[in-house]
A and B are shown apart, each in its own frame.
Chain A
Amino acid sequence: MALAKRETRVERRDASAKEGSQAKRLPVISMVLLALTFAGMMISIWMVFIYAPTDAIEGDAQRIFYFHLPSAIIGMLAFAIVAVGGVVYLWKKDERWDWAARAAAEVGAVFLTFALITGSIWGRTTWGTWWTWDARLTTTLILWFIYIGYLMLRSYMGRSEAGARAGAVLAIIGLIDVPIIYESVNWWRTLHPQAVLPIGSSPQLPPEMLLTLLVAFVTFTLLFSLLLMQLYQLEKMQTLAQRLRASVEV
Chain B
Amino acid sequence: MQGITYLVAAYAIVWAGLFAYLGVVMLRIRGVRTELAAVTELMREQQEKNT
Q: Which residues of A contact B (CB under 8 A)?
A: 58-61, 63-64, 67-68, 71, 110, 113-114, 117-118, 121-122, 124-125, 223, 227, 230-231, 233-234, 237-238, 240-241, 244-245, 247-248
Contacts and interface: CB of A to CB of B under 8 A. Distances in A.
Contact of B13 (A118, A125, A223, A248): A118
Contacts of B21: 110, 227
Chain B contact residues (Cβ within 8 angstroms of A): what range?
Answer: 20 to 34
Contacts of A64: 6-7, 10-11
Interface in B5-23: 6-7, 9-11, 13-14, 17-18, 21-22
Contacts of B13: 114, 117-118, 121
B3 A248 contact: no
A237 B11 CA distance: 33
27 contacts: A60-B4, A61-B3, A64-B6, A64-B7, A64-B11, A67-B14, A68-B10, A114-B18, A117-B14, A118-B10, A121-B10, A122-B6, A122-B10, A124-B6, A223-B18, A227-B22, A230-B25, A233-B29, A234-B25, A237-B29, A237-B32, A240-B36, A241-B32, A241-B36, A241-B39, A248-B39, A248-B46
Contact of B42 (A122, A223, A240, A248): A248
A245 B32 CA distance: 12
Contacts, number: 76
Of B7, B13, B17, B21, most buried by chain A (CB within 10 Å of CB) is B7
B14 A114 contact: yes
Closest 5 CB pairs of A and B: A61-B3, A59-B3, A60-B3, A244-B39, A121-B10
Interface of B: 2-4, 6-7, 9-11, 13-14, 17-18, 21-22, 25, 28-29, 32-33, 35-36, 39-40, 42-43, 46
B14 A118 contact: yes
A64 B14 CA distance: 10
Given A67-B14, A125-B3, A234-B29, A247 B9 contact: no
A237 B25 contact: no
Contacts of A240: 36
A196 to B, nearest CB: 18
A27 B31 CA distance: 17
Given A68-B10, A71-B14, A113-B17, 19 more contacts: A58-B3, A59-B3, A60-B4, A64-B11, A110-B21, A114-B13, A117-B10, A118-B13, A121-B10, A122-B6, A230-B25, A231-B25, A233-B29, A234-B28, A237-B29, A241-B32, A241-B35, A244-B43, A245-B39
B25 A63 contact: no
B7 A63 contact: yes
Contacts of B28: 234
A244 B13 CA distance: 39
